[in-house]
């Protein structure tokens, strides 16, 4: 089927979810509740019956003011929040609050973002990024990130979730920034400030399930979900329904347009199934391209299934810019730590060979397509289609003790791996605190009570087994209780760590690496195409890879062994070396990067 003609039949024409300002103080309230014969809108002025259409939409146009709280009252008398609430007064149970969506005055109005190849990503959890855990306090740390050379701040999910603390992957109200972090205008101010420092801002969104607590959609709109198709976290979302598609497409455009985010990262897309002619992830990408023009917008996936079809070429671009490449992390983690259980088990044999393959070709293992019968091979994608990292929130927070990689391995190994991360052509990402070697753990934390809290607590040892297991001499009882407030508190960055001499030296080293990347490597990436990488044969403990890029061949020679190793290949001009005078033999724990003219 021609995707363009198919989209013409289902493209979004007007806002269907959430309150709409009509002018002169009038607002249209609307909710899709096909199981309800009558919905009553509760405002400060009283209760007002809503009109119901045959397709299950309930609407009412009425005078209402910004700051006014409201509920939808179901036929049985239960009051529920707006599923497209823009702000909650208290918690998920409401009430929702009308927001003046035009009240914020943007300062950096000329900002259009940055090309994808310039991205250096810093993943952040707003609640633990600072001691205050707010949008406003995060602004104070932006100059530090800009000084290092960070060009993209990626926020873990903000959609309103249960309780006051959590990772955000159990969000329920997809349009409402979690109010503990601040107001919508304060979020806009943070994005605006980042733009002023030359930093893009990406947002992590979760479209594969809703959280288990505070979600009442299933009561008045059960067709929103597929009870016959569960995900690991709850019922799948029924993307075959046009009302459901509209909800999420509107949500994508809301974050990108109203908050001026520069991109979105879509969580666990392998759990998003859609039997429609046009997959929802395809339509999202096409709608973004059609409706948001004249600035850079980058869509990113987390696809554990390693599918490539969403990154294939279409109309001079790609549906999605890049995917988080867990294969790189897992293989590198095995090499650095010798942990070989859980997610790391497939990488325990021929580990160095596998790391080289991943650096040169992309994924280690061919993946499962999302919608295509003929996805391109991983080698056909440019290196910039992959985001590489040494750790992220999952791989720190799901460890038994929330410990960071650099605190448990030879610091020389971590230094070389960091050099490989920043001086390879893939898009690099740090986890918050990596810039100054934070001493703080990052735990899994939540704010549940009762049976859900018990289930979350009981699942932590099982999850830890996937990420290194229980350390020797410890038991599952040593895993911090996710629902204890102290688990959250001790996960907050202590920015005094960044003032130590060692932290300042590391800051300078990372800044230097990013500077070399910006000046020498980024110019090679804009026209990078597939089949770029070649592994150069080397002994275990070495990563020797050449990439044929625009304007030359980038050559990585990294020795992570205790022995000196001979250099291999026809080498070009030196771009970087941890040795003062590179020779034909490289010392232990040394990195060289070269640029050879021509392809």
Known catalytic residues? 267, 302
Helices (H), 17-166: 126-129, 135-139, 142-148
Which contiguous run of DSSP H or E holds residue 60? strand 57-63
What are the structure tokens assigned to 462, written together?
A: 């099982």
Measured CA to CA, the distance from residue 197 to residue 148 in angstroms comes to 12
Q: What is the Cα 197 distance to its own chain's centre?
A: 21
In angstroms, rounded to a whole number, what is the distance separating the alpha carbons of residues 446 and 266?
A: 21
DSSP-assigned states of every residue in 328-372: HHHHHHHHHH---SGGGGGGSSSHHHHHHHHHHHS-SS----SS-
Measuring CA to CA, how many Å separate 113 from each of 265, 294, 467, 510? Answer: 16, 10, 35, 23
- End-to-end CA gap in the chain: 38
Reduced to 3 states (helix: H, G, I; strand: E, B; else coil), residue 200 is strand
Please count the other Cβ atoms lying within 10 Å of the Cβ belonging to residue 232: 8
**Angle 480-483-489 (CA atoms, 0-180°, nearest 5)?**
70
Q: For tokens 């700051």, name the residue.
A: 67
Per the CB < 8 A criterion, the answer to whether 410 and 175 are in contact is no
Residue pair 343/330 in contact by the 8 Å Cβ criterion: yes
């Amino acid at each position: 089927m021609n995707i363009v003609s198919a989209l013409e039949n289902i493209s979004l024409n007007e806002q269907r979810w959430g309150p709409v300002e009509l002018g002169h103080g009038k607002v249209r309230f609307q909710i899709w509740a096909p199981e309800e014969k009558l919905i009553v809108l509760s405002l400060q002025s009283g209760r007002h019956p809503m009109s119901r259409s045959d397709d299950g939409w309930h609407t009412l146009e009425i005078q209402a003011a910004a700051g006014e709280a409201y509920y939808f009252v179901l036929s049985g008398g239960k009051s529920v929040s707006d599923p497209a609430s823009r702000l909650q007064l208290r918690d998920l149970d409401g009430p929702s609050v009308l927001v003046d969506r035009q009240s914020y005055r943007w300062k950096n109005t000329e900002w259009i973002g940055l090309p994808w190849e310039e991205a250096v990503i810093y993943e952040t959890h707003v609640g633990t990024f600072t001691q205050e855990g707010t949008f406003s306090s995060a602004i104070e740390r932006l100059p530090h990130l800009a000084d290092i050379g960070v060009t993209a701040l990626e926020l873990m999910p903000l959609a309103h979730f249960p309780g006051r603390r959590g990772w955000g992957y159990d969000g329920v109200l997809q349009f409402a920034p979690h109010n503990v972090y601040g107001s919508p205008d304060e979020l806009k101010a943070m994005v605006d400030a980042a733009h002023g420092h030359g930093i893009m801002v990406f947002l992590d969104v979760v479209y594969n399930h809703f959280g288990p607590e505070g979600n009442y959609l299933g009561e008045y709109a059960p067709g929103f979900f597929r009870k016959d198709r569960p995900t690991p976290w709850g019922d799948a979302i029924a993307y075959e329904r046009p009302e459901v598609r509209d909800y999420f497409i509107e949500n994508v455009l809301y974050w990108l347009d109203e908050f001026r985010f520069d991109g979105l990262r879509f969580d666990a897309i392998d759990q998003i199934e859609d039997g429609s002619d046009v997959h929802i992830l395809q339509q999202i990408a096409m709608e973004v391209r059609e409706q948001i023009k004249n600035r850079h917008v980058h869509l990113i996936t987390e696809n554990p299934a390693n599918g490539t079809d969403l990154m294939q070429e279409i109309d001079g671009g790609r549906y999605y810019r890049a995917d988080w490449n867990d294969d790189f992390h897992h293989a590198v983690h095995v090499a650095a730590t010798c942990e070989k259980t859980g997610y790391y088990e497939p990488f325990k044999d021929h580990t160095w060979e596998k790391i080289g393959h991943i650096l040169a070709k992309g994924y280690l293992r061919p993946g499962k397509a999302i919608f295509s019968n003929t996805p391109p091979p991983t080698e056909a994608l440019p290196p910039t289609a992959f985001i590489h990292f040494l750790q992220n929130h999952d791989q720190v927070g799901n460890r038994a003790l929330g410990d960071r990689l650099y605190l448990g391995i030879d610091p020389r190994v971590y230094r070389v791996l960091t050099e490989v991360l920043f001086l390879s052509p893939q898009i690099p990402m740090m986890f918050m605190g990596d810039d100054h070697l934070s001493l703080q753990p990052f735990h899994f934390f939540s704010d549940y009570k009762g049976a859900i809290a018990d289930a979350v607590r009981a699942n932590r040892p099982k999850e830890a087994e996937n990420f290194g297991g229980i350390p020797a001499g410890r038991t599952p009882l040593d895993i911090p209780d996710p629902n204890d407030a102290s688990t959250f508190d001790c996960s907050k960055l202590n920015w005094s760590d960044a003032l130590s001499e060692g932290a300042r030296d590391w800051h300078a080293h990372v800044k230097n690496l990013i500077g070399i990347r910006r000046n020498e490597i980024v110019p090679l990436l804009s026209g990078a195409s597939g089949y770029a990488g070649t592994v150069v044969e080397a002994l275990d403990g070495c990563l020797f890879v050449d990439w044929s890029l625009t304007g030359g061949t980038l050559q990585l020679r990294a020795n992570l062994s205790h022995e000196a190793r001979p250099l291999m290949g026809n080498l070009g001009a030196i771009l970087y070396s941890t040795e003062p005078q590179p020779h034909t033999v490289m010392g232990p724990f040394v990195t060289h990067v070269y640029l050879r003219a021509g392809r």
